[in-house]
Chain A
Amino acid sequence: MMNKTKNVVNNICKQIGLIIIALVIATIFLALSGYDPIAVIRGLMESISGDIGGTIRWATPLILAGLAICVTYKAEVFNLGVDGQLIMGACAGTAVALVIPATLPAGIAAPLVIIVSMAAGALYALIPAVLKVYTGTNEVVSTLLFNFIATLFLEFLVTGPLTDKTSGVALNASAIVPKNTWLPRISYLAPSTANIGFYIGLILVVVMGFIFYKTTLGHEIKIVGANRTLAKYAGMNPNRSVFQVMIISGAIAGMIGAIEVFAIQHRLLAGFNPGFGFDGIVVSLLANNNPFGVLFSGLFFGALINGGINMERATDVPSAVTDIVMAIIIIIVAANFAIPRVRGYFRLYRKADNPDTGVKGGKTE
């Protein structure tokens, strides 16, 4: 047991260490391009600490996207289609919201649209899952393609059937959704757009953690991801696990769509998705695909993004700087993964060249 906690602490320190390295590099970069790095960093820190609401607002979709990614990753399924699934969720939710009567109490309307969005996301994720299981189609490529289709479908909806007919100008957006579907903001953090999506995210983090560390479902998903043949041999059903993780992932993605529409924009807008799905991959990676880590990783990136936006308003430093910083962090963290593997060999290895496992010893990599 002690060993395990030591390992976890070790890992966290490593990740933090890498972030610091990345920030140092970013600082150097800023200095070289003529901005006073200290002022920039201070500005960043201030906007993060002074605008927690903004941080929460941006962290919410990132945490959820990170969870959506990490659940499939555990089964060695690569769902790059979270963007598409969240868009479909948003579309479905909006469509339903625009037809339900305004007299329906909010206590029913709001959960209803969320459930519809989650279902739509889950169904949209089910398609590539079915293709994978029954035809062997690689989900990396298929989910990417489905993303394109979803984006185009969204464009079609907001310029066609769902377009806002009441506004005079041709907007690429739907009408405002009725008030009874609006998800409440966190009033404590007004006037930011932080909303209850964050609490939902917190709950989901705990639920995911529980599933993976304490349930048979989580164990099965882990084994299916580790060795599919083994799973079959042990009596599990790998195909069912693929469906399970994709449905969960798609549902969470659909939830992101619902939150963006019903808590933030209050309408369906073309291009409302700045790419949360792909950001989710990064969030999950930084968190080592651990649901609890995703919470912190999501908050971290949310803080960075928010800081960048605020900084742009306050100073003349473009928010593109945060994109650059994020990219540096991502690439440094991704590089990290070579190192603990090698160190791990040093500590635990028993044999040199293990011919029957094919695992090589120390030097050769």
Chain B
Amino acid sequence: MNLDMISDILSSMIRIATPIILMALGGLLCQRAGVFNIAMEGFSLIGAFFGVAFVQISGGNVYIGFLGAMVFGLLFSAIFALFVTRFKANHIIASIAMNMLGLGLTSYLLRALFDVQGRLAPDTINKLPLITIPVIKDIPILSSLSGQSIITYITIILVVLVYIMLFKTKTGLSICAVGESENAATTAGIKPNKVRWLVILISGVLCGLAGAYLSTVIVSQFSENMVAGRGFTAFTAFAFGNAHPIWSSLVGLLFGIAEAIGIRIELAGIALSPSIIKMFPYALAIIALTISSYTNKLKVSGVIGMKRKGR
């Protein structure tokens, strides 16, 4: 285990965590507005498919691919928004439906539009450039930050933007308000449904981005069901991260590093099962969740951190 290997693992970690963090950002905004969005799996799958589809149609242009992915991610999430706001559908059920729809639709369109089955690899693809940052690339460990795709750097910027928006702007306050108390928001003149549409559409775009990243950056093809549960991992990230952009991203990195280590172990042929390694973030999440719930329980019952006696 030397520095190079560590940098290597960290580099993988960032690469793996990028789509998860993107999805989690959208999910946490929804959570803040009281929308239980567990449909990121479906949203991203649509993004992944249309990313590749548009690359194919445009003859290899990856930028068009990303644009298409985000547009269709937006449109697809609009269906979810419609049913959750106008028809007041149960969020969990609607999410399950969207995931199913995403799976079915993408598999179906693969056949219907491109007449292939199982996977679609575009004939040509001009992949997104990797960016090397001059000074950083030579510092060990930090060098993992260099050489990533543009999307990763965009993701980092987005994390900061979401943080600022959520805690420092009027829009962010409206989002929190709708999630905390719909009544309070309404009497303050906010339209809760408008806010919900906003957060859901944002998550649609972000998931579209994440999906296209998976299908055009990590690999260069779309295969059925390729999101493979990452949507739920993203959900775990923001649930564990308390719907806070910074914490959720850190959890995303945690998942990234677990998978990165798992892969290395598998490749190195070490006896330790990669599946067990991959379990660690989830086990950690459960422990952390339990601890935080328990301390919350104790706090509310006054055993610790007594509230001041008000007057």
Q: Judge A-B direct contact (beta carbons within 8 Å).
A: yes
- Cα distance, A323 to B286, chains bound together (Å): 32
Q: Is B107 a contact partner of A318 (Cβ separation < 8 A)?
A: yes
Give the residues in chain B near A131, CB-CB below 8 Å: 286, 290, 293
Q: Is A330 a contact partner of B100 (Cβ separation < 8 A)?
A: yes
User: Residues of B with Cβ closer than 8 Å to A?
Assistant: 79, 83, 87-90, 92-94, 96-98, 100-101, 103-108, 111-112, 117, 229, 232-233, 235-236, 239-240, 273, 275-276, 278-279, 282-283, 285-286, 289-290, 293-294, 296-297
Q: Is B236 a contact partner of A153 (Cβ separation < 8 A)?
A: no
The 6 A-B pairs of least Cβ separation, nearest first, read A323-B104, A335-B87, A327-B101, A320-B107, A334-B89, A324-B104
Q: Is A144 a contact partner of B293 (Cβ separation < 8 A)?
A: no
Give the residues in chain A near B279, CB-CB below 8 Å: 148-149, 152-153
Q: Is B93 a contact partner of A144 (Cβ separation < 8 A)?
A: no
Q: Is A152 a contact partner of B276 (Cβ separation < 8 A)?
A: yes
Contacts A/B (CB < 8 Å), 8 sampled = A131-B290, A138-B293, A145-B289, A281-B92, A318-B111, A323-B103, A331-B89, A335-B83
The residue that A278 contacts in the complex, of B96, B273, B282, with Cβ under 8 A, is: B96
- Cα distance, A136 to B299, chains bound together (Å): 12
- Cα distance, A323 to B103, chains bound together (Å): 7
Give the residues in chain B near A323, CB-CB below 8 Å: 100-101, 103-104, 107-108
Give the residues in chain B near A333, CB-CB below 8 Å: 93
Using CB atoms, name the residue of chain B closest to A323.
Answer: B104
Using CB atoms, name the residue of chain A closest to B233.
Answer: A148
The smallest beta-carbon distance between B84 and chain A, in angstroms, is: 9
Interface positions, chain A 296-329, Cβ under 8 Å from B, are 316, 318, 320-324, 326-328
Label chain A's interface by main secondary structure. Answer: helix
Count, A-B residue pairs, CB within 8 A = 140
Using CB atoms, name the residue of chain B closest to A284.
Answer: B93
- Mark each residue of chain A from 14 to 55: 1 if its CB lies under 8 Å from any CB of chain B, else 0: 000000000000000000011000000000000000000000
The smallest beta-carbon distance between B86 and chain A, in angstroms, is: 8
The residue that B235 contacts in the complex, of A137, A144, A327, with Cβ under 8 A, is: A144
Q: Is B108 a contact partner of A320 (Cβ separation < 8 A)?
A: yes
Q: Is B236 a contact partner of A331 (Cβ separation < 8 A)?
A: no
- Cα distance, A148 to B79, chains bound together (Å): 28
Q: Is B105 a contact partner of A324 (Cβ separation < 8 A)?
A: yes
The residue that A145 contacts in the complex, of B273, B278, B285, B294, with Cβ under 8 A, is: B285
Q: Is B294 a contact partner of A330 (Cβ separation < 8 A)?
A: no
Using CB atoms, name the residue of chain B closest to A161.
Answer: B273
Q: Is B236 a contact partner of A141 (Cβ separation < 8 A)?
A: yes
Using CB atoms, name the residue of chain A closest to B266.
Answer: A159
**In the complex where A148-B282, A155-B275, A159-B275 touch, is A327 in contact with B93 (Cβ < 8 A)?**
no
**In the complex where A281-B96, A318-B107, A320-B105 touch, is A153 in contact with B286 (Cβ < 8 A)?**
no
Question: Is A213 positioned at the interface, with any CB of B under 8 Å from its CB?
Answer: no
Q: Is B100 a contact partner of A326 (Cβ separation < 8 A)?
A: yes
Using CB atoms, name the residue of chain B closest to A128.
Answer: B286
Q: Is A156 a contact partner of B232 (Cβ separation < 8 A)?
A: no
**In the complex where A149-B283, A331-B83 touch, is A142 in contact with B289 (Cβ < 8 A)?**
yes
Most buried by A among B79, B104, B236, B283: B104
Give the residues in chain A near B239, CB-CB below 8 Å: 141
- Cα distance, A197 to B103, chains bound together (Å): 28
The smallest beta-carbon distance between B267 and chain A, in angstroms, is: 15
Q: Is B100 a contact partner of A152 (Cβ separation < 8 A)?
A: no
The residue that B278 contacts in the complex, of A34, A137, A152, A285, with Cβ under 8 A, is: A152
Q: Is B104 a contact partner of A135 (Cβ separation < 8 A)?
A: no
The residue that A324 contacts in the complex, of B87, B93, B108, B111, with Cβ under 8 A, is: B108
- Cα distance, A233 to B79, chains bound together (Å): 44
The residue that A135 contacts in the complex, of B93, B98, B282, B290, with Cβ under 8 A, is: B290
Give the residues in chain B near A144, CB-CB below 8 Å: 232, 235-236
Q: Is A282 a contact partner of B273 (Cβ separation < 8 A)?
A: no
Question: Is A8 positioned at the interface, with any CB of B under 8 Å from its CB?
Answer: no
**In the complex where A131-B290, A135-B294, A145-B286 touch, is A320 in contact with B103 (Cβ < 8 A)?**
yes
Q: Is B88 a contact partner of A145 (Cβ separation < 8 A)?
A: no
The smallest beta-carbon distance between B109 and chain A, in angstroms, is: 8
Most buried by B among A78, A281, A334: A334
Q: Is B286 a contact partner of A320 (Cβ separation < 8 A)?
A: no
The residue that A149 contacts in the complex, of B79, B104, B105, B282, with Cβ under 8 A, is: B282
Q: Is B104 a contact partner of A327 (Cβ separation < 8 A)?
A: yes
- Cα distance, A334 to B91, chains bound together (Å): 9
Using CB atoms, name the residue of chain B closest to A127.
Answer: B286
- Cα distance, A80 to B92, chains bound together (Å): 10
- Cα distance, A365 to B85, chains bound together (Å): 11
Give the residues in chain A near B79, CB-CB below 8 Å: 331
Using CB atoms, name the residue of chain B closest to A138.
Answer: B293
The smallest beta-carbon distance between B42 and chain A, in angstroms, is: 9
Q: Is B283 a contact partner of A330 (Cβ separation < 8 A)?
A: no
The smallest beta-carbon distance between A294 and chain B, in angstroms, is: 15
